[in-house]
Structure 1
């Protein structure tokens, strides 16, 4: 077992009364991938900001390659050989691949850029990552997300980084691009880099990581080799309690149709001719590859995107026009873009939670200033939001708690139909379990829940029925227990409505 390349010992950081890190010890070894896992708010981001020189710790020491390491800023950290690959890529979309890679690393002769030398270095870095054929003159904004990520990683190669941190790198990637990313990570470790990998997907951690370190409430509560720990043990370390059910089941019984869409076609052609019924007391999942039209479907139902043809009905009646009309008709929506359009990050929990339904909080047309805070306090208790109180700014909360606030608005609006677009993306297993339970409770109360997700295991575990979309079309809708991961993927990639029986027959034929 190699000696650690990077060690962080006794690292502490406090923000006023809040303890973000409390004496954390972490070690990353060359040629190995360390999984840094924990719930949202556990301290992972703060710890990595300390490593990257963006935050100065109150206490603790770090060593890098057997020498003291205390960067006075991100530039010093990069110069020392530490690279950060953030979930939100830090690229200039209008600049070329070359200009992005060489930004701050330009090569010049007599004051003029040496394009030939720059392109040679860029191609060499991309070649190492298996993307030597990428035209470095291409604007980054024209590249798919997975290829943009490779460009970001190529910066680390150019800087000859020896420690590379990946923060939720696959949250927006389809499976094929995620597997390509894993190949790149293996290339980095094969050359002796120490990789720190942050993810809420434990199956990904198993696939790519060698070691683990678990943070909880700002403390390191467990570490070791992944082969020596089970998934339930990891989850228990993360949440501080035994978790018997990652997918809690709340009994509910589907009834009559509540939400009906018929031949719905978006103004740009997506979705295309979608027809679907969601019943009272039902959780209906929508699966499919990125770009299949899942988000466009729920946005069209909610009135956010224009519709070319088709109808939407709630209780057999057309809903009001636009999002405001939809809310008045009992339809609530949680956007996949939590930061961009789902929440007002610079406003309070109370303002976010009660947005869209102020009538119960007013009297004689005047808003009771105390009413939103009182309403939000009840929602905070019900959803288990970790916050100082309803007046705290949403932007100060962890990702999982922000998501709970986004969902709380649907609760406050007392909607009968819930449209949830990727509600569990980027949040920890504890927060996911809470949201699954909330969906079950909503169904038990007779609400109709339409649940869009890229993560098929949660759809199959939580939903009553699952619909699969492919290229803008709703291809098939079946009971959840009638799908497998293989049949859902085959249907999503355009192989038609593939049944479990067809997959079994094909497997039997291949075996014989």
Structure 2
């Protein structure tokens, strides 16, 4: 169906692709993986007509093609679904699907035709949860992702669909919806080039995996003959096991840095936990179990209304993030782009956001902070929006380290970052804990929780259902994550 042969590309004299070749069969899901900067998105933008290659050819259905504009690639049957949505929230689904290509009758937009065609496309994908007249703002993130895909399909008779980090904005329970959509597209004979940092979904969905490193293709593997270690070794040149630094020994742990006794609010019930200096504790649970609610309650964003809490041995039950910061707490939020950074401000200004905003914290030398988190940026004046996902996450961590917290809470610490950046963040977390900081990690990636945690606490329906020692299995975690409430909690819920 598609062959890209010896494609090369340079920007300002810097070569970012070196003679990369790739092919795709009808109905195949072909995963494209590699660290940030490996060249994945550049290769796909060449295919979609956003960039023109310096060298190389594109062969589609046996004919050599050359695209100098995205419209040409769309007309040839190539669709691209970007990681960042490009939807108008206050317009209908149909208006978004046909944005810029509205059918016209007698000089006016023909809404009847537009809505009928949108309904047909949704029906082809067995998508019953979306109607053409629904406003995009009223849809879940997963449904908005579907609208983006339908928009790509409506542009032409798509033969090849490029999906760039499609699950990055999705919650856990929404990923299954995307899986079903990918399978249905594949069954229609559409070839899918699937870019992702999440190895589990790469192995769940793809038939083959192509690995890029520093702009070069280093391997194409048959998925059923490979494992995660093979892919990681090709990407970064080391084993998957080296991602997780050694855990703390019991004698290395200090006094309690954080305690909660009977902490409750409208989402949490009877939370009891202790976090010691030098300890990394993981919080596991299914979507809606209360993991993020616990992080926000500790940080005073959605505070506990009952119970007791101490930080560093002193009573503290923050009712605002400001109180939490002054009390020695820090929260690296799940969504770094909207809650963690000011993207149009410089690296320097972002690193100092907390210390400038909260009285009682003196400004610290930015250079040392950035070295501490191993941030890679052009300089301190570079805008945060131009950093890779991994470096943006490191910048968020630097911002909190400037406040010298006693307890550092992570909500999805490595979401949307490549495997190399994950390893760097894991190493940094363990270094911080060895210096006496207490770390709490909320993560939906069970291998990460198992690899990083000295203990794992499991949540379900706003309660802690159990505690597991380091090295617990995924099966043990899931058993507790799906367990029933105690009888008392069940009676309270029923009431």
TM-score by length of 2: 0.87
Partner of 1:374: 367
How far apart in 2 are the matches of 1:332 and 1:155?
Answer: 40
1:83, 1:163 within 8 Å by CA — same for their partners in 2? Answer: yes
Count residues with an aligned counterpart: 480
Displacement, 1:259? 1.0
Unaligned runs of 5+ in 1: 360-364, 499-512
1:6, 1:62 within 8 Å by CA — same for their partners in 2? Answer: yes
Alpha-carbon displacement from aligned partner over 1:62-114 (angstroms, at most 9, x marks no partner): 23233333333333332322212223332222222222223234334323444
Unaligned runs of 5+ in 2: 488-495
The answer to whether residue 256 in structure 2 is matched with residue 257 in structure 1 is yes
How far apart in 1 are the matches of 2:343 and 2:385?
Answer: 4
The answer to whether residue 305 in structure 2 is matched with residue 292 in structure 1 is no
The residue correspondences of 1:131-210 to structure 2 (distance < 5 A) are 131-132=127-128, 134-158=130-154, 159-210=156-207
How far apart in 2 are the matches of 1:151 and 1:352?
Answer: 33
When the two chains are superposed, the root-mean-square deviation of aligned CA atoms in Å is: 3.0
Moved more, 160-169 or 254-263: 254-263
Displacement, 1:321? 6.4
Displacement, 1:453? 0.9
How far apart in 1 are the matches of 2:228 and 2:304?
Answer: 44
Displacement, 1:134? 3.6
Residue 334 (structure 1) aligned to one of 332, 336, 349: 332
Distance 1:175 1:326, change over 3 A: closer
How far apart in 1 are the matches of 2:110 and 2:343?
Answer: 43
Moved more, 415-424 or 25-34: 25-34
The answer to whether residue 487 in structure 2 is matched with residue 488 in structure 1 is no
How far apart in 1 are the matches of 2:201 and 2:220?
Answer: 17
The residue correspondences of 1:14-29 to structure 2 (distance < 5 A) are 14=11, 16=12, 18-29=14-25
Displacement, 1:241? 3.9
Partner of 2:492: none
How far apart in 2 are the matches of 1:90 and 1:290?
Answer: 26
Distance 1:149 1:321, change over 3 A: closer
Distance 1:234 1:81, change over 3 A: same
Residue 235 (structure 1) aligned to one of 222, 225, 232: 232
The answer to whether residue 72 in structure 2 is matched with residue 94 in structure 1 is no
Moved more, 175-184 or 486-495: 486-495
Moved more, 68-77 or 190-199: 68-77
The answer to whether residue 409 in structure 2 is matched with residue 419 in structure 1 is yes
How far apart in 2 are the matches of 1:461 and 1:443?
Answer: 15
The residue correspondences of 1:111-126 to structure 2 (distance < 5 A) are 111-126=107-122
2:83, 2:164 within 8 Å by CA — same for their partners in 1? Answer: yes
Q: Secondary structure at the match of 1:31?
A: coil
1:327, 1:415 within 8 Å by CA — same for their partners in 2? Answer: yes
Distance 1:328 1:18, change over 3 A: farther
2:8, 2:19 within 8 Å by CA — same for their partners in 1? Answer: yes
